Structure 1
């Protein structure tokens, strides 16, 4: 096998099969990284004439002139590879990742983090670490008819969809960046209500700019009397659509707007030819995400199945600085920030 740096478009390779979160390895996500002035590299492993694996990773800066490398939901392997071949490709990526980024040494990277998309026999130098991306996702296949999809939902979910309609909730899909202000207002309220951390307004603005410019996403808006009471960001890539971010106004909870918003999104994505609607992260069975319980039940009530991944692992480059990094992370966690 041979490894090279190649920032060509490998989206067709990524879409040879559905993998939850594979958009994080796409040319679309590279454009989003560029909008944030992130340094990134795409490694490609070839095995003769065929592509064995691709791996997009980027640099996250830390205080004191340090940094780390991050691989979101990657590498992506050719499904035709055997398990030993995948392990060989992974070993090649791990051995070369730091070497090909030698020009970043002024930032002194501490470690490489991988949020792996599938289970492999991992080398001992990879140690389990906290996840940055959802380990488990809830996905709904869209090959059934609308009536069949409704029938597979939890009865209470069907009732809430009907109730939202009776209460006059309407749903619109927008690719107008001016409508992002509704989402920003709602996500701030949601963060305070649920005591969760969310991205900055700048982050969401850059994300929406990239999605809309490339015709790869929508703002889904639920309204009551022309007031936006729930909003979702839906990302489209390949044969799947992902419910990436969502927010709602608790004062209008009796209207059940989020239920209708999801159902109308599912129907729109199905009509657009997508084969999968990915609800994105749900709480793992190990109880590591207790705050995700209510949201996970909501997502699962629409029918579907869980798709699991092994989560994040770190390859440590500098043991001393890594200890300081872990200590700082613990202090931040204890402070509640």
Structure 2
């Protein structure tokens, strides 16, 4: 990494942090509440403000070079931890490499993490990519958030958004709008519990994994107004929903579900449209449908526009001499940072013997490195 004289300041105040994220046009997964959810479920989280030392300290968050909410996941000894920045850093991509160099130096000095993994909210081919490469980052296929996605431009009119849909999709949306279904945000914890039941049932039918219910309750609790759930109600019962995380600029789809009755009524079409228009009315300028794969759910998402978006993907910076051990022997451990993987804990546990074998079989020169890391780990308590 190049010499970087930027200052890094941990932020411990929620209002200050969120004001910074919003002022710099940040993603909702960089908001305080999202980090708090992660902190309740096995991560350590810190929020780092990066500033040019020449900047006026009283000029407010707009003068910051950037910021990053960093989540740390412990790894088996001697790897210590993995540092992860979800849809960050926040700030101008032109200065992102400087920001991340400063963040990486802080992480290395204070945490000793084996690597820093970042997934910026940039389009593929952004000028920031060349700067990351120059700073020592490399792109990895071990993605956490899916870079192939669909992002709607909410500055377009509702007529323009509707015109971009497939013809049958428009017809289903309009049919919903003429029906007796009610589309609105859920408002009570009792309604939240019904949504969670609906989500579990959807997951069982579709065959995807979910977190325990307390995880979703914590999103509702800690993100608050930044995590609206828009649902379709039939006689007061939710039959389809879309769960969103949102910042001032960006709406990011987290989860969705539909009951058999909702499928029959095509309520999953109307509720998507309700989510788009709700976020547009709230002032968001972009709506990210969060990931496209080759599956039925993605096929459904693609009906709402006639384009796809490719984000820059996942970038990784080695921070430890033991990074080759991590890269070679820890593919399962990487899964602890992915979404809704019920086997994540088992994967981490199963990776421990692989790490021990890799370390035990290393060249003699590597043994001194391991001894050094062991000494650091004992002093730091990590």
Task: Identify whether the pair has TM-score above 0.5, normalized to the shorter chain.
Answer: yes
The worse-fitting range, judged by mean Cα deviation, of 133-142 and 35-44 is 35-44
Distance 1:180 1:233 in 2: 11
Describe the shift of the 1:273–1:72 C-alpha distance in structure 2 as closer, same or farther (beyond 3 A).
closer
**Contact 1:177–1:209 at 8 Å: present in 2 too?**
no
Distance 2:139 2:284 in 1: 36
Residue of structure 2 equivalent to 1:266: 276
Distance 1:172 1:327 in 2: 40
Distance 1:68 1:197 in 2: 23
With the length of structure 1 as denominator, give the TM-score of the two structures: 0.79
For the aligned residue pairs, the C-alpha RMSD in angstroms reads 3.1
Residue of structure 2 equivalent to 1:67: 81
SS in structure 2 at match of 1:297: helix
**Contact 2:25–2:90 at 8 Å: present in 1 too?**
no
Describe the shift of the 1:225–1:265 C-alpha distance in structure 2 as closer, same or farther (beyond 3 A).
same
- The question of 1:156 aligning with 2:156 is answered no
Distance 1:329 1:28 in 2: 23
Cα-to-partner distance string for 1:41-60 (whole Å, 9 max, x where unaligned): 22332222142221211111
Residue of structure 1 equivalent to 2:207: 195
Describe the shift of the 1:307–1:127 C-alpha distance in structure 2 as closer, same or farther (beyond 3 A).
closer
Residue of structure 1 equivalent to 2:154: 142
Cα-to-partner distance string for 1:54-113 (whole Å, 9 max, x where unaligned): 12111113456853221111222325x4xxx543433333233221336xxxxxx44332
Q: CA deviation at 1:33?
A: 3.5
Describe the shift of the 1:307–1:16 C-alpha distance in structure 2 as closer, same or farther (beyond 3 A).
farther
Count of aligned positions: 313
Describe the shift of the 1:219–1:68 C-alpha distance in structure 2 as closer, same or farther (beyond 3 A).
same
Matches within 5 A, 1:152-191: 152-166=164-178, 168-191=180-203
Residue of structure 2 equivalent to 1:76: 90
**Contact 2:242–2:255 at 8 Å: present in 1 too?**
yes
Residue of structure 2 equivalent to 1:296: 298
Q: Please point out which of 43, 46, 51 is paired with 2:64.
A: 51
- The question of 1:239 aligning with 2:222 is answered no
With the length of structure 2 as denominator, give the TM-score of the two structures: 0.71
SS in structure 2 at match of 1:68: strand
Q: Is the radius of gyration larger for structure 1 or structure 2? A: 2
Q: Please point out which of 308, 312, 315 is paired with 2:314.
A: 312
SS in structure 2 at match of 1:187: helix
**Contact 1:72–1:115 at 8 Å: present in 2 too?**
yes
Cα-to-partner distance string for 1:234-272 (whole Å, 9 max, x where unaligned): 223113333221111235422110111111222222233
- The question of 1:29 aligning with 2:34 is answered yes
**Contact 1:14–1:26 at 8 Å: present in 2 too?**
yes
Residue of structure 2 equivalent to 1:279: 289
* Structure 2: runs of 5+ lacking an equivalent: 56-62, 336-342, 348-382
- The question of 1:254 aligning with 2:264 is answered yes
Describe the shift of the 1:76–1:138 C-alpha distance in structure 2 as closer, same or farther (beyond 3 A).
same
Q: CA deviation at 1:206?
A: 0.4
Distance 2:249 2:306 in 1: 16
Q: Please point out which of 96, 103, 110 is paired with 1:93.
A: 103
**Contact 1:140–1:305 at 8 Å: present in 2 too?**
no
- The question of 1:323 aligning with 2:328 is answered yes
**Contact 1:6–1:43 at 8 Å: present in 2 too?**
yes
Distance 2:158 2:252 in 1: 18
Describe the shift of the 1:146–1:255 C-alpha distance in structure 2 as closer, same or farther (beyond 3 A).
same
Distance 1:299 1:128 in 2: 26
Cα-to-partner distance string for 1:263-322 (whole Å, 9 max, x where unaligned): 1222222233333333222x2xxxxx333xx32332232237544322123334323354
